Structure 1
Amino acid sequence: MLFVFQLIYHSICQKPIFLVPGLLGSILHGSVTEKKRWYCPTFQDQDVWINKMLTVPPVFNCLFDFVGLQWNNNTNEPEQVKDVNLSIVDFGGLNGVSFFDTPLLGMSFVPYYKPLINKLKTQFQYEERIDLFGIPFDWRFGVHQKSDYFEKIRQQVEDAFYLNHNEKAIMIGHSMGCYLLDVFLMNYTTAEWRNKFVDKVILLAPSFGGSFSAFYSLWTKRPPVVSILGTFPDTIGTMGGIHAHMPNYDIFENDILLIEKDGQPKYAKDLVEVLIENGKINHDMNKILGVHEKWFSQKPSPIDLPVKIVYNSGLKTPKILNLTNDKEEIINGKGDGIVNAEGPEYVCSYWNDIECLDLNSNGLIGSDHISMLYSDKTLNFILEQIDETLI
């Protein structure tokens, strides 16, 4: 009897779900035809980000060479570097969003949405490309994606709506995936479209308020999240996904984010100039950064749908760079270790039709920017939004 009920539920009541990963979270696949360094490989049709074979020294230098961008003065747009052609994998499917790492001997080790996917499949009988979809994106370009990419999302949502008996979508984003959803929904769709095709939006550790960590990544030339890999001065300053996360001018308007050697305070609106003055970004890097300034110079657009947010304000999170001492000093604020709490707190205070869960945790597991995706508290919150009979 239960099996019959599940079949009826699956065929009639299921809301299609879309999973959008964050910065560094979409697998990139393609070819590299010329070497920049003698020890770098060339290849065709291979997973690149993040391929475990490319994360060992010194080859990880090649990995970051491959994912850099350059500025095209003819098109006035960022583009891939010469002799590199990478793209996302499995748009609409789950292969590009289940794990951070690509398979080695058939195994991946660092999960992304995999724990949530497993629960959706086992508890609700969701099926890939029927009512469960992945929306990977080329995070190197940040939210500055081509309009045809956003058209692909729109078409996928519409197709899922009709495939699932006119059930509206639940769109789930993590980190920069929340940023991308905000840009997509409020700039590439109409209110009429949203009301027809989207039921609600679930945002996990949303980063559209920006983060001091993005500024500090540009300052140190170290990648966010995986800073342990070292410095990559030719690449980090070209990554649109980092640029997009510069602290938002409005949300951080009155917050001191840097203290100069002479004690002069600097605020969000000053940080681009600080990077230029200190030689942290060159002319072309500044042009790539400029295409994102329109996003971080204004408040994120309120999403006019029911919005559910999970974030954490309980971990020490870098917020201020103090240069008054001989050695650089980081002063912490609150957040999830990567994204400052100011962004989520702003939208939780000012957006309409919003429900927010602050984990408010300083635990080692389940509270930081990545591992909160695996925590029972987060997963149960998501499942309750999918099956409101559990609330």
Structure 2
Amino acid sequence: MGRSGAEPEASSVARAAVVALVLLAAMLSPCCCCASAARVGGVGRRRERRLQLHPVILIPGAGGNQLEARLTEEYSPSSFACRVWPVVRGRGGWFRLWFDLSVVVAPLTRCFADRMTLHYDRAADDYRNTPGVETRVSDFGSTSTLRYLDPNLKLLTGYMNVLASTLEKEAGYEEGFDLFGAPYDFRYGLAGPGHPSRVGSAFLQRLRKLVESACAANGGRPAILVAHSLGGLYALQLLARSPPAWRAEHVRRLVTLSAPWGGSVQEMLTFASGNTLGVPFVDASLIRDEQRSAESNLWLLPAPRVFGNTTLVESRYHNRSYSAKNMTQFLRDIGFAEGVEPYRERIRPLVEALPEPGVPVTCLVGTGVDTVESLVYGEEGFEAGPEKVVYGDGDGTVNLASLVGPIKAWSGSPEQVVEVVELPKVSHSGILNDKNALDQILRVIDAINLNATSPSIHRSSQDVLYK
């Protein structure tokens, strides 16, 4: 697929729509029945153990959220395809924006990208949607939006349902009683002190109220926050921005899965060349600008305090190398100068320090999976993609240095409990459906509910950092 500006004819669009509908029908989750069946088995165990269970709140990673949109009269379609797709009742009808398989149909990829794009408003010092595009995250508090795709499709958006179903079937949890989901608009992020974050801050407020209501509905027992990937960063900010008394009363433990505490080198590949996230038939160049616009992607760039002066990207065209400490130069050279100000003013202060969560933390991390460690671009520049990719240790998405970052930052604090569970050969998304990983998550949660620590599943920070 290229970047042709010519609009497709109506017949082509119609055929594309039919293909998309067929794909969507094939992809709609058959897992609802599986979840219901699992719930039947879990209810009895819940009734037997209900006084022992701390409520669990699942906070997904970026891809594990469902995002809906509707178009207003202010929306200006960039092509005929965008004018007629999707087919909804009236112009104000809601439709699924993320994740929707119409993105794999070339004429509709640009529509998807246009509608997903965020814009930084310098005057307001905050991000907003594309004009005419309204978005929402539905069913907050429910886990249903976390499990709307078949996990056998091996897309990140389908993996969270495996964890939710496992907690129901194996641990006796019940959705809406002691198991809750906290989806969010993953395109937005948070900012350092003094900078507004309307959408991100609103999510933290909703998450705080969900934690409080979950505790109140379960005899005052504090909640277990189980957060995957980007969700771990949000969970940390919730805790860091809450008073110690609130944390002690409402949060028993933070359990993170593949949390990118110090960002990821792969994010530099996303900014430079685009990233299809494993979705087939999608031209990365068509979605690159949209991915650059996401505030959360700036949040996930390699943090200077973790990666230091290590060379992460080289460009022979620019005769320059880039580390986490000259990220603004990297953003300029890839042609994204508009990202420099928000990164420097909003994001850099946010990632320069990693605040202690103030509650016990268990970090589960995948290791031993090839992970992008450095990139080399040739004479044709960033548009041509990297000529060489060097891999190192990590979970396939997040580098090991970033995964164990909190250990270096927090292990010296006598008041901060940090435990690490290493999962060899478990990938960033696989941590949500790998049997061994699920077993470990269950054991961690069982240990918390039993107010005990199982030495067979925990490793000390010394084991991880200096093995």
- TM-score using structure 2 length: 0.74
Q: Which moved more, 1:67-76 or 1:197-206?
A: 67-76
- TM-score using structure 1 length: 0.88
Mapped to 2, the partners of 1:162 and 1:334 lie a distance apart of 42
Counterpart in 2 of 1:364? none
Matching of residue 312 in structure 1 with residue 366 in structure 2: yes
Matching of residue 119 in structure 1 with residue 166 in structure 2: yes
Q: Which of 236, 247, 251 in structure 1 is aligned with 2:291? A: 236
% identical aligned pairs: 22
Counterpart in 1 of 2:417? 353
Q: Which structure 1 segments of 5+ residues have no match?
A: 103-107, 362-366
Q: Which of 312, 317, 326 in structure 2 is aligned with 1:270? A: 326
Shift of 1:226: 4.3
Q: Which of 251, 256, 266 in structure 2 is aligned with 1:213? A: 266
Counterpart in 1 of 2:80? 38
Instruction: Tell whether the 8 Å contact from 2:225 to 2:251 is kept in structure 1 after alignment.
Output: yes
Q: CA RMSD in A?
A: 2.6
Q: Which moved more, 1:54-63 or 1:221-230?
A: 221-230
Instruction: Tell whether the 8 Å contact from 1:313 to 1:359 is kept in structure 2 after alignment.
Output: yes
Matching of residue 93 in structure 1 with residue 181 in structure 2: no
Counterpart in 2 of 1:61? 110
Matching of residue 128 in structure 1 with residue 175 in structure 2: yes
Q: Which of 67, 71, 85 in structure 2 is aligned with 1:28? A: 67
Higher Cα radius of gyration:
2
Q: Which of 443, 454, 464 in structure 2 is aligned with 1:384? A: 443
Matching of residue 18 in structure 1 with residue 57 in structure 2: yes
Q: Which amino acid aligns with 1:155?
A: K
Mapped to 2, the partners of 1:159 and 1:173 lie a distance apart of 18
Instruction: Tell whether the 8 Å contact from 1:310 to 1:358 is kept in structure 2 after alignment.
Output: yes
Shift of 1:29: 0.8
User: Kindly tell me: are residues 360 and 350 of structure 1, through their superposed partners in 2, closer, same or farther at Cα, counting changes over 3 Å?
Assistant: farther
Mapped to 2, the partners of 1:109 and 1:210 lie a distance apart of 18
Matched position secondary structure for 1:59? helix
Instruction: Tell whether the 8 Å contact from 1:78 to 1:288 is kept in structure 2 after alignment.
Output: no
What are the residue-to-residue correspondences of 1:281-320 with 2, within 5 Å? Answer: 281-283=336-338, 285-290=339-344, 291-296=346-351, 298-320=352-374
Counterpart in 1 of 2:313? 258
User: Kindly tell me: are residues 343 and 3 of structure 1, through their superposed partners in 2, closer, same or farther at Cα, counting changes over 3 Å?
Assistant: closer
Counterpart in 1 of 2:335? 280
Q: Which moved more, 1:287-296 or 1:369-378?
A: 287-296
Mapped to 1, the partners of 2:44 and 2:71 lie a distance apart of 51
Q: Which amino acid aligns with 2:440?
A: F
Shift of 1:288: 4.2
Matched position secondary structure for 1:229? coil
Counterpart in 1 of 2:20? none
Q: Which moved more, 1:192-201 or 1:371-380?
A: 371-380
Q: Which moved more, 1:32-41 or 1:112-121?
A: 32-41
Instruction: Tell whether the 8 Å contact from 1:55 to 1:63 is kept in structure 2 after alignment.
Output: no
Shift of 1:302: 2.4
Q: Which amino acid aligns with 2:248?
A: N
Q: Which of 156, 159, 162 in structure 1 is aligned with 2:216? A: 162
Q: Which amino acid aligns with 2:130?
A: V
Mapped to 1, the partners of 2:205 and 2:256 lie a distance apart of 21
Matched position secondary structure for 2:356? coil
Report how many residues are paired. Answer: 375
Q: Which amino acid aligns with 2:326?
A: D
Mapped to 1, the partners of 2:62 and 2:278 lie a distance apart of 9
Q: Which amino acid aligns with 1:315?
A: V
Instruction: Tell whether the 8 Å contact from 2:43 to 2:173 is kept in structure 1 after alignment.
Output: no
User: Kindly tell me: are residues 5 and 270 of structure 1, through their superposed partners in 2, closer, same or farther at Cα, counting changes over 3 Å?
Assistant: closer
Instruction: Tell whether the 8 Å contact from 1:204 to 1:311 is kept in structure 2 after alignment.
Output: yes
Q: Which amino acid aligns with 2:80?
A: W
Q: Which of 322, 343, 352 in structure 1 is aligned with 2:402? A: 343
Mapped to 1, the partners of 2:107 and 2:368 lie a distance apart of 36
Instruction: Tell whether the 8 Å contact from 2:118 to 2:130 is kept in structure 1 after alignment.
Output: yes
Higher helix share: 2
